[in-house]
């Protein structure tokens, strides 16, 4: 079987295909790809068995990342929680042939590695037999919003969600929602605070500006205010019947006001009334199980699914030295002044998608 490589931005068939295929997520859309290209200079491509003169019926999209830090990998897709291969039969021969084809490419194309992020088991376990191995493991939390709002509210953790939402309402926390420059700047101010707290550089402001410009009305910034102060913020995306919680941040000094639970509940209320059926809360690291982000999401969604990122070839060195370097870098980030932290994020973020 022969596979063809198409330019996702220039080929109009991709946008038409995305509108038809039932497995498509927001991360397959042209708007998301445009924001990645404009911000980081990635080259979005799709591998498909359909030639350039035929209707597009399948494909797996990638971004080619040129990086002095990580080599030149092909990732499907950077900064995307998941990216399902779009084939009529995810475990069928087309996908098997595509995996085999991709496995043969890195050496003569100069790719450092290939990484795929499927939601289903379309890559595994067959991928292991031809060299792909799990690179990262996550939990994926998705909330079914088909029950009515009262049922949904009662399904949330009583102390960590229900009572905290009521606390925010009693405290007079209010919602700002939209895509204005002010909302985006308030969101980014909180994002920098949060990323510093977690000892990781923030994404560049340009990334969020480009997301707003590319995604348009499918994107919303929601900021919780107490008086004039922004205390928490989230950025969500919508595609078809699913709302995606992509970024969240807060000022830890105001955590007692429960701004984050308040924002998530307001998002659920609004999107439920507009017909959305699924709330995708995104990925969480399995190393965090029982604490932090996983625990927070488990208070909203009682059962998460496993999300595995697959890679070929497997890195030759793993282990304690890499972990030690990461821990040293995290300690350094925690002491950086805000201006240096923002510059650092702008310089290295494109390499770690």
Closest Cα to residue 215, out of 250, 176, 186, 243? Answer: 243
**Which pLDDT does position 70 carry in this prediction?**
74
DSSP state letter for 320: H
The least confident of 30-44, 94-108, 179-193, 319-333 is: 319-333
| Residue carrying the six token digits 């700002």 | 176
Average pLDDT over residues 296-310: 89
In whole angstroms, give the CA distance from residue 160 to residue 97. Answer: 47
> Is 108's pLDDT higher than 90?
no
**Which pLDDT does position 323 carry in this prediction?**
46
3-state secondary structure (DSSP) of residue 351: helix
The least confident of 2-6, 214-218, 307-311, 326-330 is: 326-330
Task: Quote the pTM value.
Answer: 0.90
pLDDT band at 2 (very low <50, low <70, confident <90, very high): confident
| DSSP letter string, 172-231 | T-EEEEE--HHHHHHHHHHHHHHHHHTTSPPPPHHHHHHHHHHHGGGEEEEEEEETTEEE
**Contact predicate 223/233, CB 8 Å:** yes
Q: With both helix axes pointing from N to C terminus, report the angle between 181-197 and 338-348 in degrees, rounded to the nearest 10.
A: 90
> Is 141's pLDDT higher than 70?
yes
* Between 105 and 250, residue with greater pLDDT: 250
In whole angstroms, give the CA distance from residue 307 to residue 82. Answer: 8
3-state secondary structure (DSSP) of residue 96: helix
The least confident of 11-25, 141-155, 290-304 is: 290-304
In the structure encoding, which two tokens stand for residue 8, read together? 């996702």
Q: Which residues contact 146 (CB under 8 A, 6 or more apart)?
A: 277
3-state secondary structure (DSSP) of residue 63: strand
pLDDT band at 103 (very low <50, low <70, confident <90, very high): confident
DSSP state letter for 51: -
Q: Which residues contact 74 (CB under 8 A, 6 or more apart)?
A: 62, 63, 64, 65, 102, 106, 111, 113, 114, 115
The vertex-295 CA angle with 251 and 196, nearest 5°, equals 30
pLDDT band at 319 (very low <50, low <70, confident <90, very high): very low
Other Cβ atoms closer than 10 A to 275: 9
> Is 199's pLDDT higher than 70?
yes
Domains of the chain, earliest start first: 4-137+309-328 (3.40.630.30), 146-276 (3.40.630.30)
Q: Which residues contact 274 (CB under 8 A, 6 or more apart)?
A: none
**Contact predicate 85/60, CB 8 Å:** yes
What mean pLDDT value characterizes the chain?
A: 87
In whole angstroms, give the CA distance from residue 118 to residue 334. Answer: 33
**Which pLDDT does position 320 carry in this prediction?**
46
**Which pLDDT does position 123 carry in this prediction?**
61
Average pLDDT over residues 9-17: 90
């Amino acid at each position: 079987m022969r596979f063809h490589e198409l330019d996702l931005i220039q080929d109009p068939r991709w946008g038409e295909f995305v509108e038809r295929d039932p497995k498509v997520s927001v991360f397959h859309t042209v708007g998301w790809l445009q924001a990645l290209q404009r911000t980081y200079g990635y080259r979005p491509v799709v591998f498909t068995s359909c030639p350039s003169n035929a209707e597009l019926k399948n494909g797996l999209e990638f971004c080619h990342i040129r990086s002095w830090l990580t080599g030149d990998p092909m990732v499907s897709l950077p900064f995307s929680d998941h990216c399902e291969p779009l084939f009529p039969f995810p475990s069928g021969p087309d996908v098997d042939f595509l995996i085999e084809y991709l496995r043969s490419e890195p050496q003569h194309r100069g790719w450092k590695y290939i990484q795929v992020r499927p939601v289903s088991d379309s890559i595994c376990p067959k991928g292991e037999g031809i060299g792909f191995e799990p690179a990262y493991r996550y939990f994926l939390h998705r909330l079914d919003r088909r029950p009515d709002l009262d049922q949904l509210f009662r399904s949330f953790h009583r102390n960590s969600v229900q009572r905290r939402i009521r606390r925010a309402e009693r405290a007079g926390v209010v919602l700002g929602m939209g895509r204005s420059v002010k909302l985006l700047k308030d969101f980014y101010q909180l994002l920098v605070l949060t990323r510093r707290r977690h000892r990781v550089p923030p994404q560049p402001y340009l990334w969020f500006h480009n997301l707003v410009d590319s995604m348009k009305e499918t994107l919303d910034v929601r900021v919780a205010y107490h008086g004039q102060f922004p205390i928490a913020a989230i950025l969500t995306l919508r595609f078809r019947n699913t709302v995606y919680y992509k970024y969240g941040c807060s000022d830890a000094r105001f955590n007692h006001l429960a701004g984050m639970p308040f924002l998530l509940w307001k998002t659920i209320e609004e999107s439920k009334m507009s017909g959305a059926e699924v709330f995708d809360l995104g990925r969480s690291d399995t190393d965090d199980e029982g604490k932090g982000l996983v625990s927070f999401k488990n208070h909203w969604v009682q059962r998460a699914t496993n999300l595995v990122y697959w890679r070929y070839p497997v890195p030759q060195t793993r282990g304690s030295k890499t972990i030690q370097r990461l821990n040293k870098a995290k300690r350094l980030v925690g002491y950086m002044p805000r201006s240096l932290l923002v510059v650092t994020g702008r310089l290295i973020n494109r390499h770690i998608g």
